[in-house]
Amino acid sequence: MIQENLEKIRTTIETYAAKAGRRPEEITILGATKSVPPERIKKAARLGIRLFGENRVQEAQKKIPQVRIPGISWHMIGHLQRNKAKQAVQLFDMIESVDSIKLAQELQKRLPEGRQLEILVEVNTSGEPTKYGLPPDEDQILPFMEKILGCCPSLVPRGLMTLGPYPPEEKRSRRSFALLRALRDRLEEEFGLSLPVLSMGMSEDYPWAILEGATLVRIGRALFGPREE
Ligand SMILES: *Cc1c(COP(=O)(O)O)cnc(C)c1O
Q: Cα torsion for 109, 110, 113, 118, to the nearest 10°?
A: -90
Q: pLDDT, tens digit, for every residue of 137-174?
A: 999 999 999 999 999 999 999 999 999 999 999 999 99
- pLDDT bin (cut points 50, 70, 90) of residue 228 is confident
Q: pLDDT, tens digit, for every residue of 30-57?
A: 999 999 999 999 999 999 999 999 999 9
Query: How close is the Cα of 150 to the center of ligand 1, in Å?
Result: 31
Q: What percent of the chain has pLDDT over 90?
A: 98
Enumerate residues lining ligand 1, CB below 6 A.
Answer: 32, 34, 55, 77-78, 163, 202-204, 218-222
CA–CA separation, 188 vs 150, rounded Å?
16
Q: Please give the domain boundaries of the chain with CATH numbers for all domains.
A: 2-224 (3.20.20.10)
Ligand 1 atom, smallest distance to 55 CA: 15
Query: Which distant-in-sequence residues (6+ apart) come within 8 Å of 144 by Cβ?
Result: 101, 121, 134
